[in-house]
Structure 1
């Protein structure tokens, strides 16, 4: 066997070049020969969309496509079909190798139980935000006469009134009864005719009503400032918060508006 001489610098460079060439050949052979062969390089499968499929369907469906699955999480979805796929990873359309495991989030059979929040006296908007934040569903609004406009008066679940703290399933629809801002207390309109305007205004406001339009009229037989007519008339049923217009003898004072 002939020995390679390394006595000269030229011989040394030749040897180093041979070693470097062999190393490059080995690296290229590994990456472009052995590695692609051992890992089935270039052989990929497109991940199908598994959403809303049942677990019973998945086994054979994924076997046929040389894929596997694992349930990694469960969640409750209002209106969702139990034991069906809600989400998956990798996403549909991704390219993966044969035998890749698809991780699934599945819809639970039973909804978790929550403690019903207290919505009474909240505005309907605030109540809706709280309902949605807890995983409940905003239902119908029913208006009832009440001075508190859009104030929650009662709360219902499944047609039954539900109190704060009672158990309610996540995803349950919550219906609310709210105030219309007008109230429902009716009573006879007080009689303010023949009273001085100041006394009439005090009587009207004391009854939970508002003084409406003050109409100036001429009546030489009555003292100036006397109320000689009102609308609604005395005895008519009126609701809390409504206004009573009055006809007053004499011109309006310079500091008095026509609408009070």
Structure 2
């Protein structure tokens, strides 16, 4: 029978205790010293707001904070080229050092889009169509036509533009739209002999426009009296809705008249 001395057992237990203690120390050191040191545990960086900054300003600011970045580009009308439009994560977010910030930078030149066909669309539909393509609605001009609020012509830089023509994104497209009155013809109203203010009301009440007002001398008539008109109110003379009438008025005539 083999006898084990009390001293041998005691030494063995001491060795086991030392080994267990070392394992506990290594375990705690790994989780509470090594990992926090290598992952910056508990250390965060506040993401700065880089929107509207230039590329160089954004680059310097992020690099100073120990942050990386990745860039894509987009075109937005009215924005300065090569400035930051969007970022993710958002400003003031808390991130770790070395986190990648995703940046959307404004393109230097506008991409081209194909001009849509807006003719015969309603004004509202034309506006939505332009917006969906990144185009802007410019001036809206109403012209005599029975198709009320229907697009008759589309123009770019003052000239009619055909569907399919390439235009830069963000371009202003002017529209000519029907007023619903059409090409109605009627006899020319007679405003000769009326004061200018009454003549204007008569013209505008007939869906006509006041054209050029010319000052003339006539000592026999009161100042402000209309003495001639064009077109004249002769028998059989007709005028189209929306056209203008020129007036000769005993002067002087105020500029706003």
TM-score (norm 2): 0.63
Offset, 1:120: 0.6
Offset, 1:5: 11
Q: RMSD of the TM alignment (CA)?
A: 3.1
Give the corresponding residue for 2:123. 124
Give the corresponding residue for 1:147. 146
Give the corresponding residue for 2:182. 183
Equivalent-residue separation in structure 2 for 1:99 and 1:153 (angstroms): 57
Offset, 1:23: 6.2
Q: 1:141 to 1:109 in 2, by over 3 A?
A: same
Q: Secondary structure at the match of 2:8?
A: coil
Offset, 1:103: 1.8
Offset, 1:38: 1.8
Asked whether 1:61 is paired with 2:61, we answer yes
Q: Secondary structure at the match of 2:80?
A: coil
**Residues paired across the two proteins, number:** 187
Matches within 5 A, 1:133-172: 133-172=132-171
Residue by residue over 1:154-204, the C-alpha shift from the partner in whole angstroms, topping out at 9 and shown as x without a partner, is: 111222221111111111111111000011331559xxxxxxxxxxxxxxx
Give the corresponding residue for 2:40. 40
Residue by residue over 1:193-246, the C-alpha shift from the partner in whole angstroms, topping out at 9 and shown as x without a partner, is: xxxxxxxxxxxxxxxxxxxxxxxxxxxxxxxxxxxxxxxxx9584768xxxxxx
Q: Secondary structure at the match of 1:2?
A: helix
Q: 1:125 to 1:19 in 2, by over 3 A?
A: farther
TM-score (norm 1): 0.63
Give the corresponding residue for 1:193. none
Equivalent-residue separation in structure 1 for 2:79 and 2:21 (angstroms): 63
Residue by residue over 1:26-63, the C-alpha shift from the partner in whole angstroms, topping out at 9 and shown as x without a partner, is: 44332222211222222211000110111122232223
Equivalent-residue separation in structure 1 for 2:131 and 2:156 (angstroms): 14
Give the corresponding residue for 1:221. none
Q: Which runs of 5+ in 1 are unaligned?
A: 190-233, 241-260
Offset, 1:18: 9.9
Offset, 1:114: 1.1
Equivalent-residue separation in structure 1 for 2:135 and 2:164 (angstroms): 14
Q: 1:32 to 1:153 in 2, by over 3 A?
A: same
Residue by residue over 1:48-91, the C-alpha shift from the partner in whole angstroms, topping out at 9 and shown as x without a partner, is: 011011112223222322223221x1100001111111111221
Offset, 1:94: 1.1
Q: Which runs of 5+ in 2 are unaligned?
A: 1-6, 189-234, 242-257
Q: 1:26 to 1:235 in 2, by over 3 A?
A: same
Q: Secondary structure at the match of 2:154?
A: strand
